[in-house]
Amino acid sequence: MEVIVLFKFRIWTVLLAIISAILLGLSAKYKGINAFVYTELINKFVREKMSVTSNKTALPISEIILIIIVIMLLIVFINFIRNLFSPKKWIVYVARLFWGTFNIFSILLFIYIVVFGLNYQTPTLGDELVQKYNTRFSTNVNVNIDSSKRMDLFKQLSEKASESKKVFVSSEKKYFDNLDEMYLQAEVGYNVISEAFPKLSGKYSRPKESLSNDMLNYFGLDGTYSMLMNEIVINTSIPKEYMPFILCKYMAYQRGVAREDEASFYAYLSCINNPDIRFKYAGYLAMTEMIIESLRSNDKIDFNLSFNTLDKEIKSDILKFEAYKGDFGSGKKITYGYKFYFKRINGDVRVDSVANQATNLVSIYYSLFPTV
């Protein structure tokens, strides 16, 4: 009976849609206020409480919910086709389907806004870093990133990657085999950088292994983040050299970071500030790979120069990660298309790659704070 009610006109769902639209409009107009009131206070409280629920089971709740939703959508589709061939019922069915779709959309939109959605309506991290620097030192600095800065950054981080690789080899440590152990160490890095970025503090649910790495590989996913449960699920077939960085990236989503380039930036910082050499290496390695990808799309000459001058072991690990991505299935096109339109719906209209965006953020950071 409760489900049938949703397939009729209901004023409260119309009001929910209006409230959601008003909240989106206000947050887009007052991004600074929204970042403080919503992201750092209200939404942080909600995310921490959702994490308590997610932590009660080792099963990836988000993947189980997704399976149920797919089954329900199939049932709806089958019923829709069946009712099209019933002349006496299809008009009524279409009307119910319209109101059912509208009502469910209104409810989901409101839930999305409460649990995560307004985190997109915040100042971009690049602008925030420059603004904080100018406020602190009473200047009017503006940082422009070009190929020269990218090459300087490449030289700096590739050298750091080589150094940390040598330290890792000499330490005789092994790469992480246990996701929980890796997570506990990852929290150390986040605790360090949360002193400079307080919004990254907090206690959140542990990461979970996917029910099917093959399915994630088919759709080109290193992992998934569930806004509803504030739960992260990791693809454990990722090369172990990169795994700490990928884990830290998804942990950033748990902390209210909505944009992928910003999540990558915080993952990089948390890795290189982690006392564990495996995290340091993963951070330098992953960002070096992103810089190379950025150079590939911006300057072929600089790309060839940078790649050919790489340390042999670093190059080998980067090629290992590219081989992993090369095994992604055709479902990656669906994932990329979804990300493309989802970002634009949320106001992020940038067209350059995430690698380019993350490289720009790190370049801005080191341009402002070169001794960090």
pLDDT by residue (tens digit) across 18-71? 999 999 999 999 999 999 999 999 999 999 998 988 888 888 998 898 899 889
pLDDT band of residue 282 (cuts 50, 70, 90) is very high
Q: Where are the beta strands (DSSP E) in 206-246?
A: 208-209, 223-226, 231-234
74: tokens are 């199939």
pLDDT by residue (tens digit) across 208-260? 999 999 999 999 999 999 998 899 999 999 999 999 999 999 999 999 999 99
pLDDT band of residue 1 (cuts 50, 70, 90) is very low
Higher pLDDT, 167 or 303: 167
pTM for the predicted model, two decimal places:
0.91
Contacts of 25-29 with CB under 8 Å at 24 or more apart are: 27/118, 27/121, 28/121, 28/347
pLDDT band of residue 323 (cuts 50, 70, 90) is very high
Q: What is the mean pLDDT of residues 83-89?
A: 65
Res 2: pLDDT = 44
- Quickly tell me which residue has 């910082």 as its tokens: 269
Distance, CA of 6 to CA of 10 (rounded, Å) = 8
Res 84: pLDDT = 67
Phi-psi region at 239: left, alpha or beta (left = phi > 0; alpha = psi -120 to 50): beta
CB-based contact 313:241 (threshold 8 Å): no
pLDDT by residue (tens digit) across 189-200? 999 999 999 999
Distance, CA of 27 to CA of 33 (rounded, Å) = 8
Question: Burial, 174: exposed, middle or buried (Cβ in 10 Å; 0-12, 13-18, 19+)?
Answer: exposed
- The kind and range of the H/E element at 274 are none
Residue 164 pLDDT > 60: yes
Question: Burial, 289: exposed, middle or buried (Cβ in 10 Å; 0-12, 13-18, 19+)?
Answer: buried
pLDDT band of residue 3 (cuts 50, 70, 90) is very low
